[in-house]
Amino acid sequence: MDVPVIDLGGWFHGDAAAKGSVAKQWAAAFETLGFATIVGHGVDEALLDRIHEGAIAFFDEPVAVKRTASFAGEQASQGYVPLGVETVAKTMGDEVPPDLCESLSFAHLDWEEGLPDNDFDRSLYRANRWPDRPAALKPLVTEYHRSVHRLAQDLMALSAAALDLPDGYFAPTHDRMATHLRLVHYPDQPVEPLPGQLRYGAHTDYTGFTILRQDDAPGGLQVLTPDGDWVDVPPVRGALVVNAGDLLMRWTNNRWKSNLHRVINPPRTLTGSTRRLSIVLFTGPNNDAVIECLPTCQSPDNPPRYGPIKAHAHLMERIHASMPEGL
């Protein structure tokens, strides 16, 4: 089974038939694999290249500079997290060595642009901490977030159609959409990884849609098929990869899949650099949105499998499971 490539041009610019066709493809992708590669998404390709270059420039800085963007304790989900801290496979109950990546994360960049929030939201996060260098990183991250934030809202409108829900159904739960933008660097591996150690261990994502800009470096993203096989998610120039998270699967009563995926190590036989960079936007409903089974995803023969939960409570459970005690 291959990851489907879906052209969103028909959704954005087509007639009713074209929109319906895209909605059907969207539904099929998330009912089977939980992943789709999207083109025609409207995010400028030059911007995708520039944010990649800016992120690489940050990770090329000395550790002391990168640590100027660090938090401690529970705020490890924000700011700079060095190599050897995160073990995402722990969320699946796996005891493996730490992931071979470092990252820089920002929460709710929309607040910095004056978009809506409330007191509940503000109590959950500190202000983002920006590194001292490079100076160009902040405007690049802000521009990229603004563009992909718009796309994420569009994907929820598409999802309403794909789930046979009324137009605008998700607007009340996403007017303060929760977002985390994460720059992830997978360095070269001069030393062979430990047994069971990956660039990023097998896991599912936590909330709504994840929107990923990946590069074509070896040692890339893989997803688990229903047959139990790991398949590559091939990079497509100018495309983005979208996958559904656990909360979205819960919301749809398991109709849509939050699927296991991982980032594998490059082959040891390769020469030259194999470093990899991913730019990830995690999205989800408003932090205080109560998530209950959608009306089109239940019936007398298919009752709700899960009770209600607030979106942020679900997120924190998963984040804490992946971090060591006392961080």
Where do the domains of the chain lie, and which CATH numbers do they carry?
Answer: 5-322 (2.60.120.330)
Mean pLDDT, rounded, for 184-211: 96
Mean pLDDT of 72-101: 84
* pLDDT band (50, 70, 90) for residue 251: very high
User: What is the model's pLDDT at position 115?
Assistant: 57
pLDDT at 320 over 80: no
For the stretch 32-73, pLDDT in tens is 999 999 999 999 999 999 999 999 999 999 999 999 999 876
pLDDT at 326: 39
Whether 323 and 81 have beta carbons less than 8 Å apart is answered as: no
Q: How confident is the model at residue 145 (pLDDT cuts 50, 70, 90)?
A: very high
Mean pLDDT is lowest, of 75-84, 127-136, 191-200, for 75-84
Residue 64 and residue 76: Cα distance in Å, rounded? Answer: 17
Which pLDDT belongs to residue 117? 55
Region 75-85 average pLDDT:
84
Report the share of the chain in percent with pLDDT over 70.
93
Model confidence band, residue 249 (pLDDT cutoffs 50, 70, 90): very high
Q: What is the pLDDT of residue 122?
A: 64
pLDDT of residue 327: 39
| Tokens 């789930």 sit on residue | 163
pLDDT per residue over 13-22, tens digit each?
Answer: 999 999 999 9
Residue 321 banded pLDDT, cuts 50, 70, 90: low
More confident call, 290 vs 324 = 290
